[in-house]
């Protein structure tokens, strides 16, 4: 009634997926067992009001699980898992039993038992994703729709009837009549019933009749609206002569009301009896009336008045309106700002302002370590003192610091090179102001550790602008490119995790990537060229060194000639023999050393040890 937010369920973000569909459990249906079973039994024996209160809400999620949430307790009751692989499109409770039906993008329909929280049955509903479900009034049949509409027998899980459906995926399905129209009750209890369907991007809502003839697959009649229907509500026709009232909210924010007696085939699409729009008054001089979108509409129990939900989705305004449908177009004027401000004013009255005593001492944040007491700006007189008279000159900062007993020389920044933290600050300032001088000063650093520290200390929002700047500079002369590559390397190594989270990373870094590719393509050719040039240069250098060496005089300094050439030959041979003999004896000596060591004791006894080496040399 007050259109205030009554209850809010905020799932923990890292555990749950987005909510895709909702359905209230029928009032008084057997609740799924929780931690406190006995208490629930007590409740049922109490007054029937508790039974009528809606409690359990089934929430379908984008990952395929279904959550059962208790609004009375404000907590999750249970989670239904293992039925669907992808997004749940629609959930529907069975009006009599504790079964829940759901359909998904994975083309399947699942029947859940909420008592055990397990899948009772699962079957393929369509060749593409199933987007909508509706249970028949008697609870024995189930309508399912992707683009085509199928009627299933819930006992056998077989298709009972086929309907043409829509060109796009169906977004709403509901029965418009409860009892079969013909007097003789049909065997199946469903033939003769009408149901309504609406689809996305389709401005026609179709009405279908379940007939005994299986070949009849087309719509009986259709209602035309101005835009795609986003919310549909209707009053169910219980008697044959009672007209069906239909409220359709479109994407353009208009509400269309239809009233029609369902009595067979109708060729032309029916237009609305009444269209409702809401607008702002626009009475503030120049302001023009602005349309206010209607978000949803529902018939009240009397089937005459409507509940309208309009405004924005975060703070919707809910209003009960009784309408005169004899007019074909109604525009309601509502001042949304006024309504919302009244609401917020009422909410703000709960805030209490603290009463402050005049004797209290207020502690103001000051400079730690200096002795002057900070006066609290309590009185209004002091505020006036601060204002300068027109003749006076403003005090310099140095004088002000002097008044605060602070050594000015200490405050001044020490000279010398800026540190890496100031480099990071400079870099961000340069990127924000696009100052080439600052950027040149920072980006022309060649020291690896300074580059790394600067990139590590820079804030994350400056990473993409820095990459753009580096890309721009990489296109310049090769000297600057060699410096920029160092920055690129440290940016990619330190901020890879942040960059991988960006959704538009490919277009952001596309230019840089192409630049790299074009440079790398030439690398192989350049390497080959480098190799050939290297060989050529070394050859030339080698030939030059050969030429530079002075010619050696090849003539002999001394020539010795002997008398007879024969003797010379025999001498040569003898020398050669002697050489070979000496070598041979040396080898033998080495081999026999170990034997000699063993025999030393015996030789000493015989007295030969001193003689033998001499004899050997004489023999040689």
Most confident of 176-180, 393-397, 565-569: 176-180
- Would you place residue 609 in the very low, low, confident or very high pLDDT band (cuts 50, 70, 90)? very low
Q: Can you tell me the distance from the alpha carbon of 512 to that of 444, in angstroms, rounded to the nearest whole number? A: 19
The tokens for 269 are 């699409």
pLDDT over threshold 60, residue 106: yes
Interval 5-10 mean pLDDT: 82
Interval 321-337 mean pLDDT: 83
The tokens for 224 are 């035309």
Q: Which of 38-47, 100-109, 258-267, 272-281 has the lowest mean pLDDT?
A: 38-47
- Would you place residue 580 in the very low, low, confident or very high pLDDT band (cuts 50, 70, 90)? low
- Would you place residue 4 in the very low, low, confident or very high pLDDT band (cuts 50, 70, 90)? confident
To 10 degrees, what angle do helices 505-548 and 463-474 make?
A: 40
Percent with pLDDT over 90 in the chain? 28
* Average confidence score pLDDT of the chain: 78
- Would you place residue 578 in the very low, low, confident or very high pLDDT band (cuts 50, 70, 90)? low
pLDDT tens profile 548-566 = 777 777 788 888 888 765 5
Distance between start and end Cα atoms, the chain: 134
pLDDT, residue 39, reads 34
pLDDT tens profile 139-150 = 889 999 998 999
Inter-residue contact 136 to 175 (CB < 8 Å): yes
Inter-residue contact 228 to 201 (CB < 8 Å): yes
- Choice between 429 and 394, residue whose per-residue pLDDT is larger: 429
pLDDT, residue 35, reads 40
DSSP state letters, 525-562: HHHHHHHHHHHHHHHHHHHHHHHHSPPPP-S-S-----
pLDDT, residue 233, reads 92
| Sheet bearing 306-311, strands edge to edge | 294-299, 306-311, 316-321
pLDDT, residue 34, reads 44
Q: Can you tell me the distance from the alpha carbon of 492 to that of 451, in angstroms, rounded to the nearest whole number? A: 12
Inter-residue contact 110 to 90 (CB < 8 Å): no
HEC sequence for 69-110: EECCCCEEEEEECCCCCCCEEEEEECCCCCEEEEEECCCEEE
Inter-residue contact 106 to 86 (CB < 8 Å): yes
Give the number of other Cβ atoms within 10 Å of residue 458's Cβ. 20
pLDDT tens profile 362-398 = 665 655 544 445 454 444 444 444 555 556 667 778 7
């Amino acid at each position: 009634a007050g259109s205030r937010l009554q209850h809010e369920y905020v799932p923990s973000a890292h555990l749950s997926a987005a909510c895709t569909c909702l359905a209230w459990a029928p009032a008084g249906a057997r609740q799924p067992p929780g931690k406190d079973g006995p208490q629930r039994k007590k409740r049922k024996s109490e007054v029937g009001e508790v039974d009528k209160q809606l409690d359990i809400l089934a929430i379908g999620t984008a990952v395929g699980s279904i959550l059962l949430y208790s609004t009375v307790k404000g907590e999750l009751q249970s989670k239904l898992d293992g039925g669907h692989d992808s997004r749940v499109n629609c959930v529907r409770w069975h009006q009599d039993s504790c079964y829940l039906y759901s359909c998904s993008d994975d083309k399947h329909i699942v029947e859940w038992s909420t008592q055990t929280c397990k899948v009772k049955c699962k079957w393929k509903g369509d060749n593409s994703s199933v987007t909508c479900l509706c249970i028949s009034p008697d609870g024995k049949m189930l309508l399912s729709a992707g683009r085509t509409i199928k009627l299933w027998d819930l006992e056998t899980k077989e298709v009972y009837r086929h309907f043409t459906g829509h060109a796009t995926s169906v977004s709403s399905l509901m029965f418009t009549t409860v009892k079969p129209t013909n007097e003789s009750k049909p065997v199946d209890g469903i033939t003769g019933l009408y149901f309504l369907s609406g689809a996305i991007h389709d401005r026609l809502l179709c009405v279908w009749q379940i007939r005994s003839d299986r070949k009849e697959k087309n719509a009986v009649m259709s209602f035309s609206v101005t835009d795609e229907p986003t919310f549909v509500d209707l009053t169910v026709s219980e008697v044959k002569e009672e007209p069906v009232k239909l409220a359709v909210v479109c994407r353009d924010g208009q509400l269309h009301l239809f009233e029609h007696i369902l009595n067979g085939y109708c060729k032309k699409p029916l237009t609305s009896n009444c269209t409702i729009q809401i607008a702002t008054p626009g009475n503030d001089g120049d302001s023009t009336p602005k349309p206010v979108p209607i978000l949803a509409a529902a018939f009240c129990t009397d089937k005459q008045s409507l509940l309208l939900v309009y405004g924005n989705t975060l703070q919707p305004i809910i209003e009960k309106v009784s309408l005169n449908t004899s007019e074909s177009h109604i525009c309601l004027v509502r001042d949304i700002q006024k309504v919302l401000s009244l609401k917020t004013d009422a909410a703000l009255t709960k805030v209490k302002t603290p009463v402050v005593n005049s004797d209290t001492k207020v502690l103001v944040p000051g400079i730690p370590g200096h002795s002057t007491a900070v006066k609290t700006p309590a009185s209004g007189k002091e505020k006036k003192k601060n204002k300068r008279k027109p003749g006076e000159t403003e005090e310099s900062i140095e004088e002000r610091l002097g008044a605060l007993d602070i050594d000015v020389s200490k405050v001044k920044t020490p000279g010398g090179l800026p540190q890496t933290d100031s480099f990071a600050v400079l870099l961000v300032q340069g990127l924000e102001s696009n100052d080439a001088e600052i950027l040149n000063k920072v980006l022309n650093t060649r020291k690896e550790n300074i580059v790394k520290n600067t990139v590590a200390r820079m804030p994350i929002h400056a990473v993409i602008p820095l990459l753009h700047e580096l890309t721009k500079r990489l296109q310049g002369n090769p000297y600057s490119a060699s410096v920029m590559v160092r920055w690129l390397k440290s940016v990619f190594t330190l901020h890879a995790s942040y960059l991988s989270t960006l959704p538009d990373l490919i277009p952001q870094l596309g230019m840089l990537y192409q630049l790299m590719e074009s440079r790398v393509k030439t690398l192989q050719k350049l390497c080959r060229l480098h190799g050939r040039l290297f060989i050529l240069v070394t050859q030339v250098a080698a030939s030059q060194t050969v030429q530079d060496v002075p010619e050696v005089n090849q003539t002999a300094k001394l020539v010795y000639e002997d008398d007879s050439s024969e003797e010379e030959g025999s001498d040569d041979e003898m020398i050669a023999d002697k050489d070979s003999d000496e070598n041979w004896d040396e080898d033998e000596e080495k081999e026999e050393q170990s034997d000699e060591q063993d025999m030393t004791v015996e030789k000493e006894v015989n007295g030969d040890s001193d003689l033998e080496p001499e004899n050997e040399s004489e023999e040689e």
